[in-house]
Structure 1
Amino acid sequence: MAPKERRRQLVGIGLRKLVERPIHELSIDEVAQEAGISRGLLFHHFPNKTAFHDEVVAAAGRRVMRNTAPDEGLAPEPALEQFVRRYLAQIARRRDFYLALVFGRGAVALGGERVESLRTAIAQRTLGILGLDESALPVAHAWAAYAEDRALQWSGRPAGERARTEDEEVTHCVRALGALLGLEQSGPTD
């Protein structure tokens, strides 16, 4: 297998395993065994375990961004609503994966650069949807953390015990962003 293909294969295996367990519990030996290679060959493609884990986390972040992208050509308001809905659904569908991605422990740059870059990417996407410049990035970044927490809290309850429907939760998050950015909107944010 070509080196680029092998790296992609190994990261793909890591992503599948990340769904099952936090990144710090991701076994290099299991990944190598599933790929049909030796541990040493895995380290030929990645200099160390941390580099491998970091690449898996980066790929997971890219997957989140790809899965939450709104459809091309939508007007700002429907695009934002669609993005928030997809973000909420992504977290609800893969809650354990998302928790492992964002709150895992270990030598990998979790809680730092990779998580921060995911939230920044979400904030930048939000600004792009709304056609706002980078001066609003701190507010959009804070909102991204807020929306993430709302989604984790909402998805952590059984469907019958959730205080809000998915539509209500999406509307709340969209209105909260509007309030934070000082955009005109109708209705309460709670």
Structure 2
Amino acid sequence: MASRTRLSPEQRRAQLLQLGAQLFATQPYEDVHIERVAEMASVSRGLLYHYFPTKRAFFAALLAQAADQLAEATTPKPDVSPREQLLAGVENYLRHCAANRLGVSTIHRGAASGDPEIESILERSTRQHEERILTVLAPGAEPHPLLVLAVRGWLLHLRTVGHEWATTAADVPLDDVRDMCAGALVGALVALPAAAQPSELGSLLAD
């Protein structure tokens, strides 16, 4: 019998999270038994609980990992125009959703969990993307509260569209979804009263 490959603690943790993502992305939270992850990884339950003492801790780690991966995939490029940053950011997000359907489903399920710790992880992720966008739209200025609401609402819209497209409507061309989402943000900004519109709105409207 071939000997089992030994993994470093970091590799083992990553393996367990990868397997767990498959369960949480396809089953309701209450139906998932994380002991199944130990079976899938051919490790003891004690080892699993060493890394993740509870199912809640396991799920929180999954969400945090998915949020970090998303942040890395959508890092903006400051040397291009705001419009180019918007289109590139949305496209990178959609490509990330398509390539990481399990992680996207995990985030989507977490958003509806009602768990304070889970909500905190998602809130930090949303804030990070919100601050990135506002820094581009209103550089060096305190954004108007209505502008903040518009950006935050659009991020929730983008999250929902990304999940639905990646999991149920992947036959819709990426370019069309990208342009729709980018147009939704621009439309929301145009609808703001003049005092709340960002200084870089003209750059977003330019072809």
Deviation at 1:122, TM superposition (A): 1.9
Shift of 1:177: 5.1
Unpaired runs of 5+ residues, structure 2, are 1-6
Structure 2 SS opposite 1:165: helix
The question of whether the paired residues in 2 share the 8 Å contact of 1:76 and 1:129 is answered with yes
Q: Deviations over 1:39-60 (max 9, x none)?
A: 1221122222211111111111
- Please give the alpha-carbon distance, in whole angstroms, between the structure 1 residues aligned to 2:156 and 2:115: 20
Deviation at 1:82, TM superposition (A): 0.6
How far apart are the structure 1 equivalents of 2:16 and 2:101? Answer: 23
Aligned to 1:166: 177
Cα drift, residue 126 of structure 1: 1.6
Query: Which stretch of structure 1 is more off in the superposition, 24-33 or 55-64?
Result: 24-33
Amino acid at match of 1:83: G
Q: Is the 8 A contact 1:57 1:101 kept in 2?
A: yes
RMSD of aligned alpha carbons? 3.5
Call closer, same or farther: CA 1:6–1:115 in 2, change over 3 Å: same
CA deviations over 1:38-83 (Å, ceiling 9, x no partner)? 1122112222221111111111111222223344633332112110
Alignment of 1:1-190 (within 5 A): 1-71=7-77, 73-91=79-97, 97-104=103-110, 109=116, 112-130=119-137, 132=139, 135-136=142-143, 137-152=148-163, 156-157=168-169, 159=171, 165-176=176-187, 178-179=189-190, 180=192, 182=197, 183-184=201-202, 186=205
Partner Cα distance (2:151, 2:140) in 1: 11
Q: 1: distance between equivalents of 2:180 and 2:97?
A: 13
Per-residue CA deviation, residues 110-141 of structure 1 (Å, 9 max, x unaligned), is 76212222222221222244463684344422
Following superposition, the deviation at residue 32 of structure 1 comes to 1.1
Query: Given that residues 57 and 114 in structure 1 are in contact (C-alpha distance below 8 angstroms), is that contact kept between their aligned partners in structure 2?
Result: yes
In structure 2, relative to structure 1, the CA distance for the partners of 1:159 and 1:55 (3 Å cut) is: same
1:157–1:120 Cα change, 3 Å: same
Offset at residue 14 of structure 1 (A): 2.2
Q: What is the number of residues matched between the two proteins?
A: 185
> What amino acid sits opposite 2:120 in the alignment?
E
Q: Work out whether residues 76 and 89 of structure 2, in 8 Å CA contact, stay in contact via their aligned partners in 1.
A: yes
Larger Rg: 2
Structure 1 stretches of 5 or more lacking a match? none
* In structure 2, C-alpha distance between the alignment counterparts of 1:130 and 1:107, rounded to whole Å: 31
**TM-score of the two chains, using structure 1 as the length reference:** 0.72
CA change 1:110–1:145 in 2 (3 A) is farther
Instruction: Provide the TM-score with structure 2 as the length reference.
Output: 0.67
Deviation (angstroms), 1:10: 2.0
The structural deviation recorded for 1:97 is 4.6
What percent of counterpart residues are identical? 23
